[in-house]
Amino acid sequence: MVAAALTVGFAAAAQEPVRQVPESVAEVRLSFAPIVQRVAPAVVNVSASRVVERRVSPLFSDPFFQRFFGNLGPGGPGQQVQSSLGSGVIVDPAGLVVTNNHVIANADDVKVTLSDKREFETEVILKDERTDLAVLRLIEADPDLPYVDFANSDDLAVGDLVLAIGDPFGVGQTVTNGIVSALARTQIGISDYQFFIQTDAAINPGNSGGALIDMSGHLVGVPTAIYSRTGGSHGIGFAIPSNMVRVVAESARTGAHVRLPWVGAAFQEVTADIAEGLGMERPRGALVADVVADGPAARAGLQVGDLVTSIDGVDVDDPSSINYRVATKGIGGDATLGVIRNGREYVATLALEAAPETVPRDEMQIRGTSPLTGVTVANLSPALAEEIAFRGRPEGVVIVDVDATSPAARAGFARGDVVVDVNGIAIASTRELASAAAVRPPIWRLTIRRNGQILQSQFRGG
Q: Mind listing the pLDDT tens digit for each residue in 345-388?
A: 999 999 999 999 889 999 999 998 899 999 999 999 989 988 88
| pLDDT for 52 | 56
| pLDDT for 80 | 59
| pLDDT for 1 | 36
| pLDDT for 390 | 82
Strand intervals (E) in 292-373: 307-311, 314-315, 334-341, 344-351, 364-365
- Cα distances (angstroms) measured from residue 353 to each of 182, 238, 296, 304, 426: 31, 30, 8, 21, 32
**Which domains does the chain show, CATH number per domain?**
39-138 (2.40.10.10), 265-351 (2.30.42.10), 364-460 (2.30.42.10)
Cα Rg for the chain, rounded, in angstroms? 25
| pLDDT for 60 | 45
CA-CA-CA-CA torsion sign (168, 172, 177, 183): positive
| pLDDT for 76 | 52
Identify whether the C-beta of residue 123 lies closer than 8 Å to the C-beta of residue 177.
no
The full length of the chain comes to: 462
User: Among 314, 274, 340, which Cα is nearest to 183's?
Assistant: 314
| pLDDT for 391 | 75
| pLDDT for 343 | 86
Identify whether the C-beta of residue 334 lies closer than 8 Å to the C-beta of residue 351.
yes
Q: Which amino acid is at 446?
A: L
Residue 339's region, left for phi above 0, alpha for psi from -120 to 50, else beta, is: beta
| pLDDT for 66 | 44
Identify whether the C-beta of residue 265 lies closer than 8 Å to the C-beta of residue 295.
yes
Catalytic residue ranges? 102, 132, 208
- Cα distances (angstroms) measured from residue 280 to each of 270, 307, 308: 10, 11, 13
Q: Which residues of the chain have pLDDT under 50?
A: 1-13, 59-60, 64-70, 72
Identify whether the C-beta of residue 444 lies closer than 8 Å to the C-beta of residue 459.
yes
User: Among 399, 407, 386, 393, which Cα is nearest to 433's?
Assistant: 399
User: How do the residues of the chain divide into helix, strand and coil, expressed in percent and rounded to 5?
Assistant: 20, 35, 45
| pLDDT for 190 | 56
How far apart are alpha carbons 278 and 288 in whole angstroms?
Answer: 14
| pLDDT for 421 | 93
| pLDDT for 83 | 66
How far apart are alpha carbons 263 and 241 in whole angstroms?
Answer: 21
User: Among 168, 149, 137, which Cα is nearest to 213's?
Assistant: 149
Give how far the C-alpha of residue 313 lies from the chain's centroid of Cα atoms, to the nearest Å.
26
